[in-house]
Amino acid sequence: MNDSLMEQKITNKSAPAETSAAGDSLAELDSYEAFLQKLQQTINNMGDRRIAIIYTDIKHFKYINDTYGYQVGDALLRDFVKEMSTSGSHIICCSRVYSDNFVSAGYVEEGVTNEALRDYIHQVNLEREIQFREKYLNSRLKFCTGISIVDKNSRSFDAETAVSNANLARKVAKEMEEDCCVLFDHSMMEGIKREVEITSQIPKAIANHELKVYYQPKIETESLKLIGAEALVRWQKPDGSFVYPDQFIPFVERSGQIVDVDYYVYREVFRFLADRLAAGSKVVPVSLNVSRIHLSKMSILEYVRDLFEEYRIPAELIEFELTESIYLDNTERALELVTGLHNFGTKVSMDDFGSGFSSLNLLSRLPIDTIKLDRVFLKDDTLQESDKIVISCVVDMARRLRIVSLCEGVETPEQSDYLKEIGCQIQQGYYFSKPISQEQFEKLMDREQVSV
Ligand code: C2E
Ligand code: CA
Ligand code: CA
């Protein structure tokens, strides 16, 4: 990109006071209001030119603040601003929208396609990541960028709409593991519509018992006996069709409604187990998923305490599954949560172990009873030698730490045999059973030689 064409007017107005954690260091940026005004003027006068609105978010920035303190966080923001305002494209204005969200706008050079611009920014992000990760000792730091383009064929010439489109593309980028830079496209609005539709239907779905709890058996490797189950939610619409968790959990996590969904599932499970016990039927422990969103509210501890008081089931019948990412979000809070849940006498497992940035030292710091190896390790029917090494090392390490190991996603007899060979104590996966309805699960428990 040709820097000589860059019109870089960076005025001396500070970011809004309440968002300006980095204080005066970011003062060279436009205020967001000034940014919108400049962008609107530029759009009004753009003629045949194209304007790119580039919205960037620093993923896992909070981790830096929490781990190294605000001073280091501020230094990182300063570095980023310096870098953003001098890195190529024809920047006209830059602003901090809030916290670690920045927006800049500039003309796209003639001849450079929108896709080429995206690729260029993608590359810039990757280079920034290498540089920043080294400097700030954070292997998770990631720059996520959304780009919207305004040209003479655009549907809207409104500066705010252009920024909100770029922001929407940024949200899409943030959810992608690989791609850190996404161009806005009108089909994204469909995704938003779907999200709004789902989140607006959830309260009714809860009230009308459209959410159903399914149970996936857990099998003891040595005896091949049923020794527990994981509760997994399904949404059965009035027309009988099912909506699976992957299609609605991400939305309800964002809206915060996951707390109500989880509580609903917990209550269903407590009631189910209490009813079985009252009828003298056999039961096995059931594990409940704990969304990371609970960390910000922490009312879960009270809710669970009340459920134990109300249903009076033994604590050994309940286990909680927390994904490893929860611990990285906020280790201190996660520690508080795990300890609180543990204090009820319930077991706690680390879910999806190995799916993200596993932090091995967390295992020794937290009161974890079980680790659930993510099914990524079993992605192929025939186990790769490298996966075998990793699985056996994790199982061995767990054993030494006196933590039970469970492998998820077991689909073939070969995988199951290998897990037995290396001493992985529990298995869960389609090879044994898919998640089943409560009625099917009851039949299974009635048939099985289960004991608690
Ligand atoms: P998860 O906790 O890792 O749950 C295991 C997922 O793997 C389940 O998908 C299960 O059906 C699937 N699975 C089990 N065995 C196999 C296998 O052998 N092969 C394959 N390919 N898949 C297998 P499901 O039920 O669609 O749930 C997806 C995710 O949604 C769960 O992942 C969990 O993170 C979340 N989730 C489900 N129910 C709840 C809930 O009640 N509360 C919360 N917070 N999250 C939930
Ligand atoms: Ca789980
Ligand atoms: Ca899992």
Contact 47, 60 (CB under 8 A): no
Which is the closest atom of ligand 1 to the Cα of 411? 18
Ligand 3 centroid vs 402 CA: distance in angstroms? Answer: 20
What is the token pair recorded at 320? Answer: 């909680």
Number of residues written out for the chain: 452
Ligand 2 centroid vs 351 CA: distance in angstroms? Answer: 6
Rounded-to-integer distance, Cα 211 and Cα 264, Å: 8
Rounded-to-integer distance, Cα 321 and Cα 434, Å: 18
What is the token pair recorded at 162? Answer: 């252009």
Q: What is the pTM of this model?
A: 0.74
Ligand 3 centroid vs 324 CA: distance in angstroms? Answer: 10
Ligand 1 centroid vs 230 CA: distance in angstroms? Answer: 9
318 lines ligand 1 (CB under 6 A): no
Other C-beta atoms closer than 10 Å to the C-beta of 209 total 10
3-state secondary structure the chain: CCHHHCCCCCCCCCCCHHHCCCHHHHCCCECHHHHHHHHHHHHHCCCCCEEEEEEEEEECHHHHHHHHCHHHHHHHHHHHHHHHHHCCCEEEEEEEEECCEEEEEEEECCCCCHHHHHHHHHHHHHHHHHHHHHHCCCCCCEEEEEEEEECCCCCCCCHHHHHHHHHHHHHHHHHCCCCCEEECCCCHHHHHHHHHHHHHHHHHHHHCCCEEEEEEEEEECCCCCEEEEEEEEEEECCCCCEECHHHHHHHHHHHCCHHHHHHHHHHHHHHHHHHHHHCCCCCCCEEEEECCCHHHHCCHHHHHHHHHHHHCCCHHHEEEEEEHHHHHHCHHHHHHHHHHHHHCCCEEEEEEECCCCCCHHHHHHCCCCEEEECHHHHCCCCCCHHHHHHHHHHHHHHHHCCCEEEECCCCCHHHHHHHHHCCCCEECCCCCCCCECHHHHHHHHHHCCCCC
- pLDDT the model gives residue 27: 67
- pLDDT the model gives residue 435: 98
260 lines ligand 1 (CB under 6 A): no
409 lines ligand 1 (CB under 6 A): yes
Rounded-to-integer distance, Cα 47 and Cα 53, Å: 17
Ligand 3 centroid vs 381 CA: distance in angstroms? Answer: 18
- pLDDT the model gives residue 22: 42
For the chain, 452 residues long, give each residue's pLDDT as a single digit of tens. Answer: 333 222 222 222 233 333 444 444 466 788 999 999 999 999 999 999 999 999 999 888 887 888 888 888 888 888 888 777 665 557 888 899 988 999 999 999 888 899 998 998 888 888 888 888 888 777 778 899 999 999 999 999 999 999 999 999 998 888 776 678 999 999 988 888 899 999 999 999 999 999 999 999 999 999 999 999 999 999 999 999 999 999 999 999 988 999 999 999 999 999 999 999 999 999 999 999 999 999 888 899 999 999 999 999 999 999 999 988 787 777 788 889 999 999 999 999 999 998 876 667 777 788 899 999 999 888 877 788 888 998 999 999 999 999 999 999 999 999 999 999 999 999 999 999 999 999 999 999 999 764 33
Q: Which of 214, 219, 232, 412 to mutate to test the pocket of ligand 1 (most atoms within 8 A of CB)?
A: 232
What is the token pair recorded at 414? Answer: 């070969």
70 lines ligand 1 (CB under 6 A): no
- pLDDT the model gives residue 124: 86
Which is the closest atom of ligand 1 to the Cα of 435? 11
C-alpha to C-alpha distances, 385 to 116, 323, 392, 411, 428, nearest whole angstrom: 39, 26, 11, 18, 21
For residue 211, which ligand has an atom nearest its CA? 1
b/e sequence 124-161, b meaning 16+ C-beta within 10 Å? bbeebbeebeeebebeebbbbbbbbbbeeebeeeebee
What is the token pair recorded at 433? Answer: 């059973």
- pLDDT the model gives residue 89: 54
Ligand 3 centroid vs 375 CA: distance in angstroms? Answer: 7
What residues flank ion ligand 3 with Cβ within 5 A?
Answer: 351-352
Which is the closest atom of ligand 1 to the Cα of 253? 44
Name which residue sits closest to atom 22 of ligand 1, judged by CA.
409
Contacts of 111 (CB under 8 A, 6+ apart): none
